[in-house]
Amino acid sequence: MTEVGFVGLGIMGAPMASNLVKAGFDVVGYDPVPKGVERLVEAGGRAAASIAEAVGTADVVVTMLPDSPQVEQVALGRDGVLDHARSGILYIDTSSISPEVSRRVSKTARERNVRPLDAPVSGGEAGAVEGSLSIMVGGEPADFAAARPVLDVVGATVVHVGGDGAGQTVKAANQLVVAGVIELVAEAIVLLEACDVDVKAALDVLAGGLAGNKILDRKRASMLARDFRPGFRVDLHHKDLGIMLATAREAGVSLPLGGLVAQLMAALRARGGGSLDHSALLLLVEELAGRGSGKTGALPAGSPS
């Protein structure tokens, strides 16, 4: 039985780790917040009291963390993953972080005879629970092949996209597309409601045609209900769009609509929506259109907590 050390058991990490347990892996998990660890133990995994305990005897280490600083701290910091990982293990970082930071982590890992892969995921909480995530993987082809038994449990689409940092670059493009589609779906809802048609029926038709997309499939019902309980928080998408803009600048390319949707996400966050699901862009579109609904989930005033 392969032992997997899993660090980061939040909204995404906890169900991913639980799916590995269900698939027969011996999973040892650590998170400073007890809730995720408890969820893993309930699924049959084991709790670790520290990063060292989670990774010290592992064959594979997986991290799922909020941002670049946390990955640097957990991977490279004192008593972090690389301080305690055994020689030759696979280290799979599934966080969404800066490609530059990912390349730096990978370089340091190889210097310590650890085989790194950057493997950010897409699909939100539902995809993590279902084990149907899309995973874009950067790193050495041989290491990718060795990691497939783990990655195939948590993802339905698992693709090697290039060398170190390539997975993070593809994830930046993914977040650009997702944010843009959410914005357009939100605008379509506002337009349809303003024209007094059967909005549910209209979205059903759109979802079945060329305009169909996974945002419509997964989120149209919750958007119509103004239910913005987070599957993927605005705060995190705002962070990812910052990575997208920085990556575009480094590459020397202009992304006009990408810049606009990043500003809209930033505006939603500034209006107090940081803890809401990213589909709450609908609330901002309503506000801009002068059609604030006043329904449950309306934007709070002031800055995000």
Domain coverage including residue 188: 169-288
Calculate the alpha carbon distances from 274 to 91, 230, 278 in Å: 30, 10, 8
d(CA 179, CA 163): 26
Split into its structural domains, the chain has a count of: 2
Contact 29, 9 (CB under 8 A): yes
Is the residue at 301 inside a domain? no
d(CA 105, CA 22): 30
pLDDT tens string 253-273: 999 999 999 999 999 999 999
CATH assignment at residue 55: 3.40.50.720
Which residue's structure tokens are 């499939």? 217
| Mean pLDDT of the residues in the chain | 94
pLDDT tens string 216-243: 999 999 999 999 999 899 999 999 999 9
134 and 228 in a single domain? The answer is: no
Contact 297, 276 (CB under 8 A): yes
Q: What is the mean pLDDT of residues 163-187?
A: 98
39 and 148 in a single domain? The answer is: yes
20 and 59 in a single domain? The answer is: yes
121 and 257 in a single domain? The answer is: no
Which residue's structure tokens are 């038994």? 149
87 and 184 in a single domain? The answer is: no
Is the residue at 131 inside a domain? yes
pLDDT at 289: 95
What band does 1 get if pLDDT is binned at 50, 70 and 90?
low
Beta-ladder partners of 159: 136
Catalytic residue chosen out of the listed positions 22, 35, 107, 171: 171
45 and 134 in a single domain? The answer is: yes
Tell me whether residue 171 is one of the annotated catalytic residues. Answer: yes
Q: What percent of the chain has pLDDT over 70?
A: 95
Residue 295 pLDDT > 50:
no
Residue among 33, 67, 63 at smallest CA distance from 47: 33
What band does 208 get if pLDDT is binned at 50, 70 and 90?
very high
pLDDT at 293: 56
Contact 43, 22 (CB under 8 A): yes
pLDDT tens string 130-164: 999 999 999 999 999 999 999 999 999 999 999 99
Residue among 39, 41, 137, 40 at smallest CA distance from 94: 137
d(CA 113, CA 234): 37
175 and 98 in a single domain? The answer is: no
Is the residue at 243 inside a domain? yes
80 and 204 in a single domain? The answer is: no
